[in-house]
Structure 1
């Protein structure tokens, strides 16, 4: 299960409440591009529209060996495949105030390209500063323990 892309900013900017997995509906050239590591999830989010889950704002570069692809949009919306009951559960959770759906990573499972995403709540600026302070304190403690 090699990880192909990680959204590092998501774990810093959001408090992760629940993680889920879904398949990504991609074209053949997009699959090759993703497997080559030419993708970015920074700034991407998931949106429920018309009873379907969509990944918006993710960048998947055009696959160069496939030649020039006419009208290729690297930032197009991509459908996320999830079970109906999971989707209805997500609709209920997303209806709560302040919750959003953010992509965490893209990885392969067998021959399939999967998306790990989370139901999350945005952190305030002071919460981010506290997290940085905690991380620095933990690092200092580890360094002092190693030194002795």
Structure 2
């Protein structure tokens, strides 16, 4: 029997990205969490009606919630279900992870920033980072560094 080849599709499982997060925050520790979702939300996610550009993770009563994530309901949704597109969604984390996050947020002044939502097998996962907000001068330094890297590559290309 011949073995089946696995196709390596890295971006096919990505649902939504938050591209501004790396520009606005210094991101340090990466976390992955499952989400508690309703049926209509899964249907909307499958059709790609998700926006996580302005969302963050909030800790309340020793539980983590995704706040500001927008999942737009489908037009063919059931009439007896009340759809709230911006409701806080509970994140599924281990107690040890939650305790570490609570300590970092309350003592050290970190924020929890959502960066990506993706499929992992049949589950919807949220990737979020522990980070601190950048000042304007930090953003300018990053832009200068990125532009210098591009210019350097151009000079090396023309030198050959």
Q: What value does the CA root-mean-square deviation take over the aligned residues?
A: 1.5
Aligned residues: 148
Match of 1:30 in 2: 41
The alignment's TM-score, normalised by the length of structure 1, stands at: 0.93
Q: CA deviation at 1:139?
A: 1.1
Q: Aligned pair 1:113/2:124, yes or no?
A: yes
Q: Is the 8 A contact 1:62 1:69 kept in 2?
A: no
Q: Partners in 2 of 1:116 and 1:134 — Cα distance?
A: 26
Equivalent runs, 1:27-66 vs 2, <5 Å:
27-66=38-77
SS in 2 for 1:64: coil
Greater Rg by CA:
2
Q: Aligned pair 1:85/2:72, yes or no?
A: no
Q: CA deviation at 1:68?
A: 4.9
Q: CA deviation at 1:64?
A: 2.9
Unaligned runs of 5+ in 2: 1-9
Match of 2:16 in 1: 5
Residue number among 27, 30, 35 corresponding to 1:19 in the alignment = 30
Unaligned runs of 5+ in 1: none
Match of 1:142 in 2: 153
Match of 2:86 in 1: 75
Q: CA deviation at 1:81?
A: 0.4
